Structure formats: C-alpha cells, structure tokens
Structure 1
Amino acid sequence: MGAKNTSHCESLMLVFSGICEEIGVPLAKEKTVGPVTRLTFLGIDIDTEEFRLRIPDDKLVKMVVCLKNLVGKRKVTLHELQSLTGTLNFVCRAVRPGRAFLRRMYDAMCGIREKHHYIRITKSLREDMLTWLHFLENFNGETFFPESEWLSSDNLNLFTDSSGNGLLGCGAYFAGQWVYFGWPKAWENKSILADITFLELVPIVIALELWGFRFSNKRLLLHVDNMALVRILNTCTSKSKRVMSLIRPLLMVFLKHNIVFRATHVRSQDNGICDSISRQQWERFRQLAPEADENPLNVPNNIIEKIYSMKLTD
C-alpha cells in the first residue's frame, strides 16, 4: 500500500510485474487491476479509503434463503451442509467473529464421506443456524477493517467479577459507568452457584450488551480471572449447555459490532473494583473508583430473561 495521491503503488506494481516476468511467473493481465482504492476480491468489495468491506446483496439473500430452508429440518445431507458452510465461510472473510458459529457444523461433517448421506441437526446446530439467520437478516452487508491495535481491559478501564455467594451477585465497570446484578433468590442452595465458570460469564455478557457499541471495529482483549472461562472464550465453545446459552448472545454482540476478541487470564487480586461491586462493598468500591457514577446502570432485559430461565441443577 502506498501513500495517497502518489505513484508509489504504481511503481510497486511495475517492479513486481517485472520480477515475475524475469523469473517466468505468468500473470493474468485480465485479472490485474490497479492501482485503485476500491476493487472486488474473492467476491467482496474492498474500499481502502473508507476501510470498508461490503458483501453483495445477492449473496446475503442466498444465505438467508439457504438457512431458512435447512433450519427447520431434522436431517440434512452432507452436500446441503457443505453448501451452507461454504457460503457462511464467505461472510466470515469480512465478519471474523462468525467463525465461532461454523465450528459445530464442520464437526458434524467429520467422518461423513458420501454427499447424499444425512446428518442430524442437533439442538446446538439449530441454535447456531438461528444465530446466523438473526444476524444476516439484520446485517446490511457492510463492515469495517478492525483496528490493528489490541485494546486491553486495562487500557479501556473495563472490569467484571462474580461472587459465588447466593446472597450477593456480579458486577461490571467501564470508564466510570458500572452495573450490579444480584443472583436470583431461587438460586440459593442450588448447584448453579457452584458453577463459577458460568457465574463469571454473566457480567461479561452484561458488560458487552451495555458497552459493546463502544468497541465497534476494534480488537478487544478481555481480562478474566477464571482459566476455564478463558479457554471457553478463546475457543467459543463449551460442553456446558448452561454456559453456551450465554456464549451465543455474547458472540452475537461481537458479530453485530465487528469486534475481534480474545481472552487472557488476570489474577483475582488485580480486579478489586468489580470484586467490591460483586460483594456489595460500597465503601471499598468508592475508594478504588472515586470517579464512578453515583448510580448503577440497569441490566438489559434480554439478559435478565436469559439468566432467570437457567436450569438450577445440572
């Protein structure tokens, strides 16, 4: 890439073409374009002035139709699922977080060789398809290049934490804004309170629902004080149905706002602000975060409904 309004790109193109000709590497002249600031590559429109990617409308319509045809079926052929994953993988060239919703589809095809053989649509597969369908029906086909720099929780002043005490709850904090969510009374003395991985995931989902738009087109490094949850976030999958019920809405936020993310472990003692929120230690909280807003934000209703619908036992 050369500087704007210069002949740098053209010079580089001529040098490259000369090298290819000298060493005998053929170039297809009909496929050689440029220098330009906008071109179509592998079916995606790339605009280097606006740093934007665009997926053609006809391809989006084709994917929605394909999903609607398959999502209600109990079984599909290998050929049908291959066709679907191929078109969805095309979207993932522009919307990288979508790859998480392809993993189970590829796993389902493992070991199936004949294209006419059938694959059962499990509940997890159907939920992934529905997630894709919801996203594509509300997606205008445009996304932007994610920024190259990783933003960490420390840089953003973004923190989350949970308490395993049934009388307490969890907290999230971002740049002065904060939220507290108390565990439902129905959870007292139930096994769900022993599922610390799930409990630690709750405030992360709340935080991204509240502030995800602030991280649009960015690379987000989440600091998490639970190693099991770090692995789950980085692989975007879990054997726990309870955990997956929150992973999907979390990934939908990343899809919606084109956020590239990964998680890393942080020591619990380095997470004092949200530790004090989750434990309702308000005096300590004010000492650690004197710039915090006076009142907390409300937890989004869609997340409250998800949390209250959880199975209390495994």
Structure 2
Amino acid sequence: MLGPDTRLEFLGIILDSIDMKASLPSDKLQRIRDITKSYCEQQVITKQQLLSLLGHLNFAMHVIPQGRSFISRLLDAASAVDKLHDCVFLDEGCRSDLRFWSLLLAHWNGVTFFYDDLVRSSDSMRFFTDAAPSVDFGGFFQGEWFAGSWPLSISTSSKFSLNPAYHLYHTRDIPSG
C-alpha cells in the first residue's frame, strides 16, 4: 500500500509538491522527442499519423503550455482531409512548427514549475503589452517603454513582444535586498 508522498505520477505526469513542479517521465519525453523529430522534414503524412503526433504534443502541453501557439497550423492541416488514411500535406509553416517542437524538446529538461498567478500578474510585474498586425507591437515594463516592428514571418510574432521586456528585465540593475 502506498502512503503519503510529496512526489507522485498522476495521469502520466509527475507532480512534486515540495519543488512545486510538474514533469514528464523520461521515457514519455523521449518518445515525444523521437516522434516529433521523425516528422520534421516530411511533406506528406496520413491524417492518422498527424492526429497521433498531435495527441503526443497535446499530452506534452500539460507540462509545456507555451507549446500551444505552435500547433494551430497542424490542427488546420489535420482538419483539411476527412479520412484517417488520407494524405495531409505539411507546408513549410507546419514543418516550421514541428522543427520548433523538436528543438524545444531536444533542449528542454522536462520540468515546468507551478504558476503562482498572484505573484506573476501583469500588475504585480508592471508589465503590459499590446500588438496589432497593422501597427506593430509595444509595451511597458517596470517604468520603461519598448516598441518594435513585426518580422516578415508573422506566424512567429507572438514571442517578439516579450523579447524586449525579457531583455529589459535581465539587463537592469537589481537592488540587493
């Protein structure tokens, strides 16, 4: 019989209540890495293969929520055909998303920390951004403004409004306290 523990596997995800983190078991993480890498450069796969891949990525997103931005094109491609054995064309955008996933999974340690919404709210961080495809992006982070233009590849633009804030945060003088 299993007694109280601070680390347990629940629905295939390891939860650690001391370190406040969730992680994927190493065998599952490696399987998702292998499957994703195997499809990165393929131009045609079946709908069944794509749905299987999306199932693995969906599972990974329970621990890697940042990956949600990089499956919409794959979902669109899967819905473009009716039958499971129909061929799906993976355009450059789909393959780019798969390469992102492959790169992320190759360098990610399999761990994410539980979010504390009270500590990380935009108000508590004094961090605000806004963006529009027609007028670029900008933001305010702890007393400093930033703005920029969209890159040519708009599909990856969601991360660009955060980069200036990240740079400001990591280059400012942090008072010791």
What's the TM-score once normalised by structure 1's chain length? 0.44
Q: Does 1:52 align with 2:21?
A: yes
Secondary structure of 1:119's aligned partner = strand
TM-superposed CA distance for 1:103, in Å, is 2.3
1:244 to 147, 155, 166: 155
Write the distance in 1 (CA, Å) between the matches of 2:19 and 2:99: 31
- Give 1:114's aligned residue: 83
Write the distance in 1 (CA, Å) between the matches of 2:137 and 2:86: 47
Q: Does 1:70 align with 2:43?
A: no
- Go from structure 1 to structure 2 and tell me whether the alpha carbon gap of 1:69 and 1:170 turns closer, same or farther (over 3 Å shift): closer
Q: Aligned-residue CA RMSD in angstroms?
A: 3.4
**Which deviations, in whole Å up to 9, do the C-alpha atoms of 1:126-178 show, x marking residues without a partner?**
1111111111111001111111327444432224579xxxxxx98654225x4
Write the distance in 2 (CA, Å) between the matches of 1:135 and 1:150: 26
- Give 1:79's aligned residue: 48
Secondary structure of 1:39's aligned partner = strand
Write the distance in 1 (CA, Å) between the matches of 2:102 and 2:45: 17
Greater gyration radius: 1
Which range moves more in the overlay, 59-68 or 77-86?
A: 59-68
What's the TM-score once normalised by structure 2's chain length? 0.73
Write the distance in 2 (CA, Å) between the matches of 1:111 and 1:33: 47
TM-superposed CA distance for 1:33, in Å, is 5.1
Secondary structure of 1:112's aligned partner = coil
Secondary structure of 1:45's aligned partner = strand
Write the distance in 1 (CA, Å) between the matches of 2:51 and 2:85: 11
Write the distance in 2 (CA, Å) between the matches of 1:252 and 1:82: 31
Contact 1:135 1:252 in 2 (8 A): no
Write the distance in 1 (CA, Å) between the matches of 2:41 and 2:8: 37
Secondary structure of 2:108's aligned partner = coil
Contact 1:97 1:251 in 2 (8 A): no
2:142 to 154, 170, 175: 175
- Give 2:171's aligned residue: none
**Structure number having the greater helix percentage:** 1
**Structure number having the greater strand percentage:** 2
Write the distance in 1 (CA, Å) between the matches of 2:41 and 2:126: 43
Write the distance in 2 (CA, Å) between the matches of 1:82 and 1:96: 19
- Go from structure 1 to structure 2 and tell me whether the alpha carbon gap of 1:45 and 1:107 turns closer, same or farther (over 3 Å shift): same
Paired residues for 1:1-314 under 5 Å? 34-110=3-79, 112-149=81-118, 151-159=120-128, 172-176=139-143, 178=144, 199=149, 242-247=153-158, 249-250=159-160
Report the number of matched residues. Answer: 162
Write the distance in 2 (CA, Å) between the matches of 1:139 and 1:64: 10
- Go from structure 1 to structure 2 and tell me whether the alpha carbon gap of 1:243 and 1:87 turns closer, same or farther (over 3 Å shift): same
| Amino-acid identity (%) | 30
- Gaps of at least 5 residues in structure 1 are 1-31, 163-168, 184-198, 203-240, 258-295, 298-314
Write the distance in 2 (CA, Å) between the matches of 1:116 and 1:108: 14
Write the distance in 1 (CA, Å) between the matches of 2:16 and 2:25: 13
Aligned residue type for 1:158: F
